[in-house]
Structure 1
Amino acid sequence: MTDARVPGDDEAAFIAAARSTDAAPFVLLTERYRRELQVHCYRMLANYEDAQDMTQETFLRAWHKRASFRGHAALRTWLYRIATNACLDFLDKRDDRTPVPADLPGAGSEVRYLQPYPDRMLPEDPQESVVARETIELAFIVAVQHLPPRQRAVFIVRDVLGWPASKAADALELTVASVTSALQRARVTMRGQLPGRRLDWRSPAPDELSDEERGVVKAYMDAHERNDLTGLAALLRHDLRFAMLAEPSTLIVTAKDAVDGWVSGGLFQRGHDDWRCVATTVNRMPAAALYLRTPDDPEHRLYTIAVLRIVDGKITELTGFDARDKPWLGLPATL
């Protein structure tokens, strides 16, 4: 995403489109960037619905500012600048978009506004997808939320997008020294939030699930459909980190406590014992869509999206998202 020294074809076409009152050429030129801009907004906001809204806001702002575009920067860079500032404006107006302390001692913070991101909406550009898994995994998205908004923006444009400090400073209306200082602080926070995890976000990372991951997902779904609590528990690492969103205070940090909570909540008991499951992927991570049929309902209805992080054949992190009455991820509402 380097600045263009002279306007390229896209930039020249956009300058021509900016002089027209016809929106069609503008839409044609900008729509190709929708998916990557939406991922960018998601990294900033950790919420799929908010990311969709801010992407649309980006295009509205770009339309109103189109006459100011001179081609001194690449069209993509110009759109990213608008998207970043749209997200910052959004965060300035919201007081519910920061992590809150977890009730469980030593468990850190909860990001209750977190939503999964459907893989089908990830960019198709190989240059984007080569970093997508490392920079869109739930753990990364949650860690980024612990950065103050402007520091978050600096970290994303510098360490994820790979912008030079001068371009980041121009986009965020900061000095190069401020950008450098903010990035250093952000990296310290990210290392604290992701101990032991790889921190070179621009290195190639596999974006396909491994056979091991697919096998664990299948076993997880089979255990639900068989009402097999023992089999389900056997898939969990003892230090499992479990959270159910958007419910508050559901963070659990051992497999035993998670299983005990599921049992006390009625899992595999009458009313919660007729499951059908569909394998899917979100945030470049293995996931299962769980459908529940209650005794008075002829259909299985989408109930929960369970996103799994799997290490050495065990589930180490399980994040559940309440999917009832939500048309999420392109999944069918009923089975």
Structure 2
Amino acid sequence: MVAGDLLSRARAGDGDAFRELTEPHHRELLVHCYRMLGSFHDAEDAAQDTLLAAWQGIGGYEGRAALRTWLYRIATNRCLNARRSAGRRLRREWDMPGVEPPEPTGFGEVPWLEPFPDSVLEGAVGVPLGPEARVEQSESLSLAFVTALQLLPPRQLAVLILRDVLGFRAIEVADMLDSTVDSVTSALKRARAGLKRHRSQSEEREPAPGPNSASEQALVAEFVRAYESGDPDALVALLTDDVFISMPPIPFEYQGRDAAIRLFAGIFGSGRRVDLVPTRANGQPAFGAYLRAPTGIRHGSGLFVLTLTVERICAFTRFDSSVLPSFGLPRSLPSR
């Protein structure tokens, strides 16, 4: 059925027609909300709120902007409202019993950060972008990029995503934000400068190996062997000199090999051992971590996401076990 017929039916209250109109955009809107909010669960809520608002407002949609643009306008403003609310995930205390954490080298500013499951990305990447897009789609969902986005003021964040990631024109963004082209241009300039400050170190790194390439698989296999066997020396040998370790919502951060040695020596020295179940997050290798217990049952203790260079691991992000269901991973594994 042609879009015009679907739109007429949707305006008349036909829910099936509305769903057929909006379904092709659902996953890319979810990704957009994730970039805006940094939390997969918050993004799911914002995407649902967007579709509800669109359904309630479809009668007033006059078609002056493309339907996709209209949906992005709603989604962006829903996310800006969410960022103004106080209901963000709070920092948590250290949660590894029997392990004394070493002194961190820094403290994270984005405790609400969550990983995005690659399994949800089908149909959400590879969509045609506008001519103004400057950021590669694969880069624009990396944990480093999403974290840096969260440190920008909300409207600068929105402008940068709409202009540099999605490629909307300045006049379109001004309309979405009820602003002016001059204001959008100024906000974009400040956002780019802020993003560069937060990402200066990661921009200098070598590129990562291709997803599921032989070099990625070889490095990941070495990581699994080292981590599952609790071998801190083998693990640290896989890390870059400036490796960055974070664990939201725990705010502790560890920068550099020396800090990594102290951290993993304490974890492995406590006798703590996990089995790793592979998955992917944010276009990066990831693992559900399951803590071995004397009963034989292995309980989910977190999710690890690796950021790679050509031959080494340059970042290690550990999330808590609350994110496992989003990846289709169980809370626990049976005895082997």
- Listed one character per residue, the Cα deviations across residues 1-46 of structure 1 (whole Å, up to 9, x for unaligned) are xxxxxxx943x13431333233222122212211100000000000
Whether the aligned pair in 1 keeps the contact of 2:89 and 2:249 (CA below 8 Å) is no
**Which residue is equivalent to 1:216?**
219
Find the counterpart in structure 2 of residue 195 from structure 1: 200
Secondary structure of the residue that 1:70 maps to in structure 2?
A: coil
Instruction: Check whether the contact 1:47–1:116 (CA below 8 A) recurs between aligned residues.
Output: yes
1:84 aligns with 2:105: no
Structure 1 residue corresponding to 2:13, chosen from 5, 15, 21: 21
**Which blocks of at least 5 consecutive residues in structure 1 are unaligned?**
1-7, 200-204
Q: How far apart, CA to CA, are the structure 1 residues paired with 2:39 and 2:124?
A: 22
> 1:138 and 1:183 mapped to 2: Cα distance?
21
Report the 3-state secondary structure (helix = DSSP H, G, I; strand = E; otherwise coil) of the residue aligned with 1:332. Answer: coil
Residue deviations 1:176-210 (CA, integer Å, cap 9, x gap): 000000001111111111116559xxxxx997343
Cα RMSD for the two superposed structures? 2.7
TM-score normalised by L of structure 2: 0.85
Cα 1:125–1:143 change in 2 (3 A) is: closer
Identity %: 38
Inter-partner Cα distance in structure 1 for 2:40 and 2:210: 20
Label 1:123 to 1:76 Cα distance change in 2 as closer, same or farther (>3 A): farther
Which residue number in structure 2 is paired with residue 186 of structure 1?
A: 191
Q: State the distance in 2 between where 1:198 and 1:72 align.
A: 39
2:326 partner SS = coil
Is residue 15–residue 71 contact of structure 1 (8 Å, CA) maintained in 2? no
Residue of structure 1 in register with 2:259 after alignment? 257
Quote the offset at 1:287 in angstroms.
1.6
The equivalent residue for 2:29 is 37
Q: Distance in 1 between matches of 2:128 and 2:180?
A: 31
Tell me, what secondary structure is at the counterpart of 1:327? helix
**May I ask how many residue pairs the two structures share in their alignment?**
313
Three-state SS of the structure 2 residue aligned to 1:252 is strand
**d(CA) in 2 for partners of 1:104 and 1:219?**
26
Q: Is the Cα contact below 8 Å between 1:129 and 1:207 reproduced in 2?
A: no
- Give per-residue Cα distances to partners, 1:141-167, cap 9 Å, x unaligned: 011111111111011101111011000
Higher relative contact order (CA 8 A, sep 6+): 2
Alpha-carbon distance between aligned partners in 1 of 2:257 and 2:291, rounded to the nearest angstrom: 23
CA 1:90–1:289: 2 relative to 1, 3 Å: same
SS in 2 for 1:331: coil
1:115 is the counterpart of 2:117: no
Q: How does 1:270-285 map to 2 (within 5 A)?
A: 270=271, 272-273=272-273, 275-285=274-284
Partner of 1:46: 38
Shift in Å at residue 227 of structure 1? 2.4
1:307 aligns to 2:305 (yes or no): yes
Residue 168 of structure 1 is matched in structure 2 by 173
Runs of 5+ unmatched residues, structure 2: 92-102, 130-135
Q: Give the drift of 1:268.
A: 5.3
SS in 1 for 2:300: strand
Superposition map of 1:57-136 within 5 A: 57-94=49-86, 96=88, 107=106, 109-124=108-123, 127-128=126-127, 131-136=136-141
Quote how far apart the aligned CAs of 1:288 are. 2.1
Residue aligning to 1:234 = 237
Closer/same/farther in 2, CA of residues 247 and 156 from structure 1, 3 Å limit: same
| C-alpha displacement of 1:313 | 1.2
Relative to structure 1, is the Cα distance of residues 184 and 73 closer, same or farther in structure 2, using a 3 angstrom cutoff? same
Report the equivalent of 1:3. Answer: none
User: What amino acid does structure 1 have at the position aligned with 2:28?
Assistant: E
* TM-score normalised to structure 1 length: 0.85
Structure 2 equivalent of residue 154 of structure 1: 159
**Is contact 1:280–1:288 with CA below 8 Å preserved after alignment?**
yes
Taking the aligned partners of 1:325 and 1:174, their CA distance within structure 2 comes to 37
Is the contact between residue 210 and residue 216 of structure 2 (CA under 8 Å) also seen in structure 1? no
2:17 match: secondary structure? helix
